[in-house]
Amino acid sequence: MMPAPLLPSDPSDLARAVARLREAMHVLVLTGAGISAESGVPTFRGPEGLWRDFRPEDLATAEAFERDPRLVWEWYDWRRQSVAEARPNAAHVALVRLENRVPEMLVVTQNVDGLHGAAGTRRVVELHGSLWRLRCVDCRQEQDDRRAPLPELPPRCACGGLLRPGVVWFGEALPQQALFESFTAAQRAEVVIVVGTSSVVYPSAALPQAAKSVGAFVIEINPEATNLTPIADVSLRGTAAGLVPALVEGAA
């Protein structure tokens, strides 16, 4: 589906979104790369996105890793180093305040940067894994390692096997438990807030639709129209660090 044409948001949209959020007992927040853009972490698509300069099939597939683990690791280690310097922005922080106020809230993120956790959000599902997690391709043991740069590329497990980034690559299934938790939250949510995602990657992009089909009110925050826009109840046009705090403070 083509993205809808860019339309400015109606000034009453923020007020409508605030009113629905204020009443909500169950909230699902879905985030994508755009929420971390103002922390200095690049997005994937668009003129400055990572997929302009790099091809996913060279760097983000199991086949690429099998072919050249060092090349893949160099790219991930570079991303780990740049994310290590990034700090949560006002949008991540506002979501912590919202979590403290709403009886049941879940943040589902497609991001692998760990910035929701760094901001202090307690319930986060990392649907696409984490840059900070490493997994052995032989014994499957996972470990957390926040050193950036890593001392050895490609890194090795204590068992001698190769360690791979603990992220989901193209062609791989998403973690079952993470998916189950996310779609359960979608079934329960009265309000879904979707921040900074182009909504082109499934199954993440199906979450707001699943929630809406059982009555949720869907709020989109994004400077641009996306594939989600046609089904969103309100589309707020602007950046995450500007609009998420405005929405959360308004509903407080």
Instruction: Let me know if 26 is a catalytic residue.
Output: no
**Least distance (Å) between residue 149 CB and ligand OAD:** 21
Of 196, 107, 126, residue with least CA distance to 165: 126
Question: Can residue 4 be called a binding residue for ligand OAD (CB under 6 A)?
Answer: no
Question: Can residue 161 be called a binding residue for ligand OAD (CB under 6 A)?
Answer: no
Burial class from Cβ neighbours inside 10 Å (0-12, 13-18, 19+) for residue 12 reads exposed
Q: Pick the binder of ligand OAD from 239, 247, 248, 251 (CB under 6 A).
A: 239
With a CB cutoff of 8 Å and minimum separation 6, the contacts of 147 are: none
- Residue (26 or 125) nearer to ligand OAD, CB: 125
With a CB cutoff of 8 Å and minimum separation 6, the contacts of 55 are: none
- Residue (144 or 172) nearer to ligand OAD, CB: 172
Question: Can residue 208 be called a binding residue for ligand OAD (CB under 6 A)?
Answer: no
Cβ atoms of 135 and 142 within 8 Å: the answer is yes
User: Among all chains, which residue has been given the structure tokens 């809230």?
Assistant: 105
Token code pair at residue 249 = 């403070």
Q: Pick the binder of ligand OAD from 26, 92, 116, 128 (CB under 6 A).
A: 128
Q: What is the DSSP string of 7-46?
A: -PPPHHHHHHHHHHHHH-SEEEEEE-GGGGGGGT---SSS
Q: Pick the binder of ligand OAD from 9, 49, 183, 233 (CB under 6 A).
A: 49
Q: Pick the binder of ligand OAD from 108, 124, 240, 248 (CB under 6 A).
A: 240
Catalytic residue among 26, 92, 116, 128: 128
Stretch that binds ligand OAD, among 5-13, 38-46, 65-73, 176-184 (CB under 6 A): 38-46
Cis peptide bond N-terminal to 149, omega within 30: yes
Burial class from Cβ neighbours inside 10 Å (0-12, 13-18, 19+) for residue 223 reads middle
* Rounded alpha-carbon distances, angstroms, from residue 67 to 51, 182, 248: 20, 33, 46
- Residue (197 or 235) nearer to ligand OAD, CB: 197
241 alpha carbon, distance to own chain's centre: 15
Stretch that binds ligand OAD, among 35-43, 74-82, 117-125, 145-153 (CB under 6 A): 35-43
Question: Can residue 224 be called a binding residue for ligand OAD (CB under 6 A)?
Answer: yes
**Least distance (Å) between residue 179 CB and ligand OAD:** 14
Q: Pick the binder of ligand OAD from 121, 130, 222, 229 (CB under 6 A).
A: 222
Interface residues with ligand OAD (CB under 6 A)?
32-34, 37-38, 43-46, 49, 60, 110, 128, 168, 196-198, 201, 222-224, 226, 239-240
Catalytic residue positions, numbered:
128
